[in-house]
Amino acid sequence: MKRILITGALGQIGSELTLKLREIYGADNVIATDIKKNDSEAAQSGPFEVLDVTDLNRMGEVAQKYKVDTVMHLAALLSATAEARPLFAWNLNMGGLLNALETAKEMKAQFFTPSSIGAFGPTTPKDDTPQDTIMRPTTMYGVNKVAGELLADYYFQKFGVDTRGLRFPGLISYVTPPGGGTTDYAVEIYYEAVKNGRYTSYIDKGTYMDMMYMPDALQAIVDLMEADSTKLIHRNSFNVSAMSFDPEEIAASIAKYIPGFKISYQVDPVRQKIAESWPNSIDSTAAKEEWGFKFDYDLDKMTMDMIEKLRPNMQMRIPG
Ligand code: AKB
């Protein structure tokens, strides 16, 4: 039976992952932590501890108190926020990761942390980006992600910590909105579509990025952590993606369900530049071969579910 410590448990991934893990492993076996408590289900449905991930002693105390055997480290700044506050991002993203790895080492625990398509850069092959390729990101977030992947590999090789990670694309969910990412437009667009029937995109038409619906991302985490360790050639981290689209294509998908939906553009140069430095689409073959990565949602299936969940009473127009 796993006993899991989650950092950043009230964030975009954490607030849903905490609930999924509590369903699988039992509420008392999933210890949610975050910098502040709130009244969300993730904070209320099982053990919760206030934890600043830059405080190694406190992290160790919490890990000991609950005798955890798994550490899932999610607390981090996303790409656009990290670009606005690079020094703070380095300290939080790298300091938090190092503390979480140290805690996993002390507890002899299994370890997970997400990497990102942000680990790639402008000199990376843009299409079908391979698992092993050039990684020279030009953002602080990307620098943190590449360094983080190397650090997690180091803890595996040097100390035998069972570290595992996923290079997530943009994650789309109707539960907890993301904050400070470059791919966030692909979440905002659904909220605005349901509310106002239109959306002004800060990412330009023709800009392709990988994306994944949150239920697939959560399942991928569970599957990777349950995978047979001896089958893993790559650990930190696996390319995983379910779809790649540009703003025109997501808008066209939404218009199938919300007729008359309109997209316009007011490009944010900072986030546009970040997006242009990332791949158009990544290749998830290693994840499929080494631990059976799969996904259920393509763009239209995700769009239908997002709209259904965001506007439960709307009359759906099923394309056909
Ligand atoms: C971001 O846009 O910063 C994140 C990511 C792709 O890592 N969603």
Atom of ligand 1 nearest to the CA of 78: 3
Q: What is the full per-residue pLDDT of the chain (320 aa) written as tens digits?
A: 799 999 999 999 999 999 999 999 999 999 999 999 999 999 999 999 999 999 999 999 999 999 999 999 999 999 999 999 999 999 999 999 999 999 999 999 999 999 999 999 999 999 999 999 999 999 999 999 999 999 999 999 999 999 999 999 999 999 988 789 999 999 999 999 999 999 999 999 999 999 999 999 999 999 999 999 999 999 999 999 999 999 999 999 999 999 999 999 999 999 999 999 999 999 999 999 999 999 999 999 999 999 999 987 454 444 44
Asked if residue 71 lies in contact with residue 107, where contact means CB atoms within 8 angstroms, the answer is yes
The verdict on residue 319 lying in a domain is: no
Q: Flag whether 302 is in a domain.
A: yes
- Residue 268: CATH number of its domain: 3.90.25
Residue 163 lies in a domain: yes
Rounded to the nearest angstrom, the gap between the alpha carbon of residue 53 and the centroid of all alpha carbons in its chain is 18
Both 93 and 180 in one domain: the answer is no
Calpha distance 210→190 (Å, rounded)? 17
Same domain for 121 and 179, yes or no, is no
Q: Which of 141, 174, 208, 297 is catalytic?
A: 141
Is there a catalytic annotation at residue 257?
A: no
- The answer on 234 and 94 residing in a single domain is yes
* 176: in domain: yes
Same domain, 12 and 48: yes
- Within 10 A of 292 (CB to CB), how many other CB atoms are there? 13
Strands in the chain per DSSP E? 4-7, 30-34, 48-50, 70-73, 110-116, 163-168, 170-172, 198-201, 209-213, 238-239, 243-245, 262-265
Q: Which residues line ligand 1 (CB under 6 A)?
A: 78-79, 116-118, 141, 168-170, 181-183
What residues make up the domain containing 133?
A: 4-169+213-239
Does residue 263 share a domain with residue 155?
A: no
Q: Is the pTM of this model over 0.85?
A: yes
Instruction: Report how far apart, in Å, the C-alpha atoms of 127 and of each of 37, 197, 208, 244 are.
Output: 41, 32, 10, 10
Into how many domains does the chain fold? 2
Query: Both 88 and 182 in a single domain?
Result: no
- Up-side HSE of residue 77: CA atoms within 13 Å toward CB? 24
